[in-house]
Amino acid sequence: MTEAIVSLQHLQHNLSEIRRKTGEGVRIMGVVKANAYGHDVHRVSETLEQNGVTDFGVANIQEAIELQTGRALKKPASILAFASPLSSQIPFYLKHGIEMTLCNKETLFAAESHAAATGKKLRVHIKVDTGMGRLGLPPAAAMELLRASEQCPGIEVKGIYTHFADSSGDMEFTRRQLRDFLSLASEYEHSSGKQVLRHAANSGAILSLPEANLDMVRPGITLYGYHPAKETGTRLSLKPVMQVEGKIAFLKTVPSGSTISYCRTWRAPATTTIATIAAGYADGYPRALSGKGARVTANGQSFSQVGTITMDQIMVDLGTSSTAKVGDRVILFGWEGPTTAETLADLSNTISYEILCAVSRRADRIFR
């Protein structure tokens, strides 16, 4: 059986590191979308709340409702859904008090209609596209949306926000995004006489562009113990929050020339011991790692994964001197041993975010 060990102490440590970087005057929105990057949204959010976080970011209204109704949060909290909603979803924002991302006038007018029908106010954050090219309006059109929202009594503009496209790499472009965003925010606040919550900084910007902290920051991957890019890898002392472990299910000695797993892609160069580990790509250990030299740790020793990774099992070459036995735990990645989520990401040509999010529900979450 595969286990995902989640260290809530490491989570608290990473939050403290982020606070040290941003300063106490900046609000922190805990980004807990995708089941808190695979770590368990309820336990992660509960821990963040216990450590002073009152703002949470999720992907969509479904995740927002799951968080709000899951009883992890014991105090009033602000939950923002980042997705642009369908009109049919707007009543759920009003019913559950979820803050909505607003990207166009059509959604604004639909939201105003629903708000008027219920007698409730809907809090929104206007999304500004300054260069990500995903959601939101360019600054000029966003200003029109802001002004239109002032004519809607059922709508409360709580914030405006943008998202950086390359906050760990192309800093010239990122600074241009920030300038465009701040220009819009300043113009709106000056013309309306209102102050709104401004937020732009993701993990990369927190590390690389302190002037982007503004009123609130939105750390994601840094909460879970990883830097968004190698260029930022020494700026915070982060600890991985998740460690994924399996157990040795079977051991056998094979002679030189024996082939292992599907398509016979690995051949034993000499007599050796092969361990079958009860974890595969259905647990979140990517098939793309097959034959890439990924290392696992058993009894303090590091061994190489061999052959094609299968749905439920992987094979490991233990050599001839290992003392490992059936039932021993094997660390696939985490804070012990040489292999982290970032290591696996590099080997499989992806990012640590994807490795973490891919750890499936078949891996029991164990909290420490």
- My answer on whether 68 and 36 are in the same domain is yes
At residue 245, the pLDDT reads 98
pLDDT at 235: 76
Report whether pLDDT(231) > 90.
Answer: no
**Residue 79, helix vs strand vs coil:** strand
On the question of pLDDT at 308 being above 90, the answer is yes
Residue 234 counted as domain residue? no
Please indicate if the annotation marks 134 as binding a ligand.
yes
For 104, which DSSP code? S
Same domain, 249 and 216: no
248 is a domain residue: yes
Single out the residue in 168, 189, 224 at which a domain terminates.
224
Q: Within 10 A of 166 (CB to CB), how many other CB atoms are there?
A: 15
Residues 249 and 183 in one domain: no
φ and ψ at 167, to 5 degrees?
-75, -5
Average pLDDT over residues 198-216: 97
Residue 91 falls inside a structural domain: yes
Q: Are residues 29 and 78 in the same domain?
A: yes
pLDDT of residue 138: 98
Annotated active-site residue in 194, 230, 262, 325: 262
343 in Cβ contact with 279 (< 8 Å): no
Span 34-63, pLDDT tens digits: 999 999 999 999 999 999 999 999 999 999
The reply to whether 262 belongs to the active site is yes
Q: Is residue 146 part of a domain?
A: yes
Structural domain containing residue 43:
8-224
Q: Let me know if residue 14 belongs to a domain.
A: yes
Q: Which residue has the tokens 């059936």?
A: 326
Q: Which residue, 161, 145, 61, 62, is CA-closest to 107?
A: 145
Q: Is the pLDDT of residue 140 over 80?
A: yes
Asked if pLDDT for residue 75 goes beyond 80, the answer is yes
Split at pLDDT 50, 70, 90, the class of 24 is: confident
Instruction: Please give the Cα distance from 13 to 306 (Å, whole number).
Output: 35
Let me know if residue 178 belongs to a domain: yes
Instruction: State how far the Cα of 296 lies from the Cα of 304, in Å rounded to an integer.
Output: 6
Is the Cα torsion angle 23, 139, 164, 64 positive or negative in sign?
positive
* Judgement on whether residues 144 and 24 belong to the same structural domain of the protein: yes
Measured distance CA(121)–CA(269) in Å, rounded: 69
Residue 174 maps to which CATH number? 3.20.20.10
User: What pLDDT score does 175 carry?
Assistant: 97
Check pLDDT > 90 for residue 156.
Answer: yes
The Cα 156–Cα 72 span in angstroms is 27
The whole-number pLDDT of residue 234 equals 65
User: What average pLDDT is seen over the chain?
Assistant: 97
246, 343: one domain: yes
Q: Which helix (H) or strand (E) holds 182?
A: helix 171-192
Catalytic residue (choose from 33, 224, 226, 281): 33
Instruction: Judge if 169 and 256 occupy the same domain.
Output: no
Domain assignment present for residue 342? The answer is yes
Provide the CATH number for the domain around residue 304. 2.40.37.10
Where a domain ends, among 224, 258, 287? 224
Last residue of a domain, one of 161, 194, 224: 224
Both 167 and 280 in a single domain? Answer: no
- For residue 237, tell me if it sits in a domain: no
242 is in an annotated binding site: no
Q: Determine the average pLDDT of the residues in 284-311.
A: 97
Q: How is 316-357 classified by DSSP, letter by letter?
A: EEEETT----TT-EEEEESSSSS--HHHHHHHTTS-HHHHHH
Considering the domain architecture, whether residues 93 and 194 belong to the same structural domain is answered as yes
Closest CA to 184 of 168, 196, 171: 196
CA pseudo-torsion sign 133, 139, 144, 150? positive
What per-residue confidence (pLDDT) applies to 232? 65
pLDDT-above-90 percentage for the chain = 96
pLDDT of 293 above 70: yes
Question: Which is it for strands 242-254 and 3-6: parallel, antiparallel or unpaired?
Answer: antiparallel
**220 and 273 part of one domain:** no
Backbone angles phi, psi at 150, to 5 degrees: -65, -20
Total tally of structural domains belonging to the chain: 2
Contact between 29 and 218 (Cβ < 8 Å): yes
The answer, yes or no, to whether residue 229 has pLDDT greater than 90, is no
Asked if residue 193 has pLDDT above 70, the reply is yes
Task: State whether 334 and 188 are in the same domain.
Answer: no
Q: Answer whether residue 1 shows pLDDT above 90.
A: no
- Rounded to an integer, the average pLDDT of 205-223 is 97
| Same domain as 356, residue 249 | yes
Would you state the torsion angle of the CA atoms of residues 73, 238, 164, 33, taken in this order, to the nearest 10 degrees?
Answer: -30
Residue 233: pLDDT above 70?
Answer: no
pLDDT-based confidence at 179, cuts 50/70/90? very high
